[in-house]
Each structure stands twice: as C-alpha cells, then as structure tokens.
C-alpha cells in the first residue's frame, strides 16, 4: 500500500516535467541561449495572449449579465410604475427629491410678499404722522372752514414695527433658502 502511494507521487512529478531538461547556462552555445530566450519570450507572449483572451471572455460574460439584469429591471419598473401603487411610490420619490425645494418656492416666496405688503400697510396706518378732520364749519357767506388735528406716532410703536418686520423677513428668507 505504501509503495502504491509513493509510486503515484513520483509518476505525477515526472508527468509535470516530461519536456524539460535542466542544463547549466555555461554549457550552452550563444545560439542555443538566444533560441531558449526567444522560446521563453514566445511562451510568455502566448500565455499573456491566452490570459487576455480569458479576461475578454470574462468581461463579455459580465457585460451580458449586467445588460440582462438592467433590461429586466427597467421592464419591471415600467410595469410597476403603471399601477396605482407605483404611481404613488413615484410621487413619494419625486417629493423626496424635489419636495422641499418646491415647498420653499410655493410657500416661501408668496409669504414673503404678503409679509412685505402687510407691513407697508401697518406702517402707513400706525407709524406715520396722520391728519384727521376735527371740525368743519360753514360761515354765513358760504365759506367752509376745516379744523385739522395731527397725531404723531410714538417712537416705540415705530421701533416695534421695524423689529417685527425684520423678524418676519428673516423667517421668510429662512423658509425660502434653507
């Protein structure tokens, strides 16, 4: 049994070296050395070409697999997008991508203009000097005399309106740009 195992090991080693003879380089002529180097270069080139061919084949197989997977994925996605659940999912994906920007534009910009117009109206109404008619009288000869009174707003009212306007403007700007 031991002889059988040893014999198979020796035979396997000999089959791997059937065409090779090891000779010292100093025993060869220059022509033989050149021929051996040319043969070695040819063997390396063949092995490089064979390896490149294997890589090309592998690349082609990977490309075919990716193409098949992507075409199946696009077909299934198209079928899913045509269903009600697919449409809702596409809406959610679109909202996730551009929803915040859309809300900023749709809500923030009109809100900013409303705030500005509201503060212009409030400032004119509460923070500017106003004249109002106190008394109107007509003389015997038909001349109308009017008595006017003017009110000056409090400086605290003016500053509070300015501060409120600045705070609201900053909030609208943050809604639009952040």
Encode pLDDT of 121-152 as tens digits: 888 888 788 787 888 888 888 888 888 888 87
pLDDT of residue 20: 65
Q: Are 81 and 90 in contact, with CB atoms under 8 Å apart?
A: yes
Which residues, in sequence order, are bridge partners of residue 155? none
Helix (H) or strand (E) run with residue 31 in it:
helix 30-81
The average pLDDT across 10-28 equals: 61
Three-point CA angle 94, 95, 100, nearest 5°:
130
pLDDT at 176 over 90: no
pLDDT of residue 4: 46
pLDDT at 30 over 50: yes
**Count of CB atoms situated within 10 Å of the CB of 172:** 20
Per-residue pLDDT band for 2 (boundaries 50, 70, 90) equals very low
Pick from 153, 166, 150: which is nearest to 125 by CA?
153
Helices (H) and strands (E) counted in the chain, each on its own, are 5, 2
pLDDT at 174 over 50: yes
Query: Which tens digits make up the pLDDT trace of 34-92?
Result: 888 888 787 777 777 777 777 888 888 888 888 888 888 888 888 988 999 999 998 89
Per-residue pLDDT band for 94 (boundaries 50, 70, 90) equals confident
d(CA 159, CA 171): 18
């Amino acid at each position: 049994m031991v002889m059988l195992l040893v014999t198979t090991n020796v035979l396997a080693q000999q089959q791997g070296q059937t065409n090779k003879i090891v000779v010292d380089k100093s025993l060869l002529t220059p022509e033989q050395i050149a021929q051996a180097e040319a043969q070695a270069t040819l063997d390396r080139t063949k092995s490089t070409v064979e390896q490149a061919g294997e890589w090309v084949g592998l690349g082609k197989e990977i490309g075919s697999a990716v193409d098949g997977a992507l075409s199946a994925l696009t077909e299934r996605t198209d079928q899913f997008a045509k269903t009600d659940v697919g449409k809702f999912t596409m809406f959610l994906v679109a909202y996730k991508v551009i929803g915040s920007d859309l809300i900023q534009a749709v809500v923030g910009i009109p809100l900013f203009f409303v705030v500005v117009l509201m503060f212009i109206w409030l400032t004119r109404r509460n923070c500017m000097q106003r004249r109002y008619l106190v008394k109107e009288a007509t003389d015997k000869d038909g001349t109308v005399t009017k008595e006017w009174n003017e009110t000056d707003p409090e400086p605290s009212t003016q500053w509070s309106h300015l501060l409120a306007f600045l705070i609201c403007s900053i909030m609208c700007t943050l809604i639009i740009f952040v």
